[in-house]
Chain A
Amino acid sequence: MIIAEPKKLADVLCAVEPYRNVAVAGCGTCVTVCLAGGEKEALGVAGMIRLAAKEAGREVIVSVTNPIRQCDMEFLDSHEAELEEADCILSLACGAGVQFMAEKFPDKVVVPGVDTKFIGVNRDLGYWTEMCQGCGNCILEKTGGVCPVSRCSKSHFNGPCGGSSTGKCEIDPETECGWQLIYDRLSRINQLDRLLEVNETRDWSTSRDGGPRIVRRQDVTL
């Protein structure tokens, strides 16, 4: 899922400070699961905005709304009436949701309430790690199910750099060496011979380098 992290409260308060009618919009999907922008967080931020306004002697109306997904226009449409009155929408969705919200309400100010971090997994309470960069050309079948693009700090395709030591990456003793993980997995599934295969120079045009990406599929078109 997409992992996000709440923005600093002071920054959020500063961003919504000029507005008199603020709608805080949580999102029911990824950011709910990673405890950054769901209903609970939306209610919390709304309370803090009210409190800050009260302390500053400002009048502000703060509402809370929680579309199931902000990345789906159908769900935004169903909350249109609730959001119509606001002059500022604080979206706690990922970057996609914030932008879709801005498309839905082209005349309103829409500000982000979270920083969208990465596609990743939850490993422990309050602990998420990156697993995928959406490069658009998956080679996990060659690398034992461990991604060299996202889990090697240098996105190496042909083995570890010289900075791999005792299973850790050179950038940080907390970070596991992606190629150590690949090696360990391939050795467990008896595919170490794959390591001598040269992974050819990548075509990055399937990644962000090809410009904003589009998927169009005839098979799911009416």
Chain B
Amino acid sequence: MSSEKSNLQKILEAGHFSVSSEIGPPMSANGQFVRGHAKELAGLVDAANVTDCQTAIVRMSSVAACCLCAQEGLEPVLQMTCRDRNRIAIQSDLLGAAALGLKNLVVLSGDHQSFGNHPQAKNVFDVDSVQLLAALRDQAENSVFMSGAKTKMPAEFFLGSTANPFADPEELQLIRLEKKINAGAKFIQTQAIYNIERFGRWMEKVRARGLHERAYILAGIVVNKSQRSIEMTGIVPGMDIPEALIERMRKAEDEQAEGVSIALELIEEIRKIEGVSGLHIMAIGWETIVPTILERAGFLPRPKV
């Protein structure tokens, strides 16, 4: 890369166990909302994803919210879905993102618009995430757009994508993960993990394919605030929450404390699994708990690289 590497990339390349988090931009033009959350996380995590209209709900653009985060000293990870933009718009936005200094990018399919607040919308899916990763690697390496047309200054990113250890069919999902890594993904953020046993088995297969050596696997954790929160998380497609954990939240006298305990237990178990290079903590709607989790899990202070 011609420009300096991102903090996240440097942390991972130095062999540290990375810790990232996530900010969901507001359903409004309220920049202070983003700035506020960015300030809470700055210095505590290595980087934070800024979601791209997650669950197909219209929110402030990821590029704009990433810039607000960067201004507050939090390194952002731009998300770009294939749902809302064709190849012209994606490449254009990413040129802009690179020009604004954004260095980390997660490419993903995007939840189907039928989940969101504009189910009447057309979707795009001009390219899929494997194709987009390959195209962005080509752009960075060969200064070409998807059409083959040349650019004098390509957009370069620390490229990542996502994987869901609990989606079906398992073998095909692993093949798809391998395709993403073949296409240029250097880090992979997983769907939220609640079922440690199943995640462990998935990681065995990831290791058997040697994928953990070719991309950093960053395990996803969601911190739930309440019984309702864990139940709502459970209905997200491709999520696997063992009934025992939901039951614990139901019976808990202090649901918030129980949510934190569950998250800390999961983190402890995940850290024991070979091939996991970092943790990606998602506490959408409860960002203020992230510092507590990081402190209690022993992730602070973060290494300087």
Contacts and interface: CB of A to CB of B under 8 A. Distances in A.
B114 A160 contact: no
B176 A160 contact: yes
Interface string A22-48: 000000000000000000000000000
A23 B72 CA distance: 69
Contacts of A164: 167-169, 173, 238
Interface string A156-183: 1111111111110011100001011001
Interface in B88-116: 109-112, 114-115
Given A154-B123, A177-B168, A198-B183, A159 B131 contact: no
A158 B131 contact: yes
A202 to B, nearest CB: 8
A170 B179 contact: no
Contacts of A167: 168-169
A156 B112 contact: no
B208 to A, nearest CB: 15
Given A154-B109, A195-B175, A200 B164 contact: no
A155 B169 contact: no
Interface in B39-62: none
Nearest to A196: B175
A154 B112 contact: yes
Contacts of B125: 154-156
B169 A183 contact: yes
A183 B168 CA distance: 10
B250 interface: no
- Please indicate which of the listed interface residues A163, A180, A198 has the most CB atoms of chain B within 10 Å of its own CB: A163
B239 to A, nearest CB: 9
B172 A195 contact: yes
A218 interface: no
A189 B125 CA distance: 29
Given A156-B125, A198-B179, A162 B172 contact: no
Contacts of B129: 158
Contacts of B256: none
Given A170-B111, A183-B172, A201-B135, A162 B164 contact: yes
Contacts of A156: 109, 125, 128
Interface in B128-184: 128-131, 134-135, 146, 162-164, 166-169, 171-173, 175-176, 178-179, 182-183
Contacts of A75: none
B83 interface: yes
B197 interface: no
Nearest to A149: B125
A129 to B, nearest CB: 17
- Please indicate which of the listed interface residues B82, B127, B135, B169 has the most CB atoms of chain A within 10 Å of its own CB: B169
A158 B176 contact: yes
A160 B128 contact: no
Given A158-B179, A159-B175, A204 B114 contact: no
Contacts of A65: none
A172 B135 CA distance: 31
A159 B179 contact: yes
18 contacts: A154-B82, A158-B176, A159-B130, A159-B175, A159-B176, A160-B168, A160-B172, A162-B162, A162-B167, A165-B168, A165-B238, A167-B168, A172-B114, A180-B172, A183-B169, A198-B179, A201-B127, A201-B134
Q: Which 3 pairs show the lowest CB-CB distances between chains A and B? A: A162-B164, A159-B176, A170-B237
Interface of A: 153-167, 170-172, 177, 179-180, 183-184, 192, 195-196, 198-202, 204
Interface of B: 82-83, 87, 109-112, 114-115, 123, 125-131, 134-135, 146, 162-164, 166-169, 171-173, 175-176, 178-179, 182-183, 191, 237-238
Given A155-B125, A162-B164, 20 more contacts: A153-B112, A154-B82, A154-B83, A156-B125, A158-B129, A158-B176, A159-B172, A160-B172, A160-B173, A162-B173, A162-B191, A163-B111, A163-B238, A164-B169, A165-B168, A171-B112, A172-B114, A180-B168, A192-B171, A196-B178
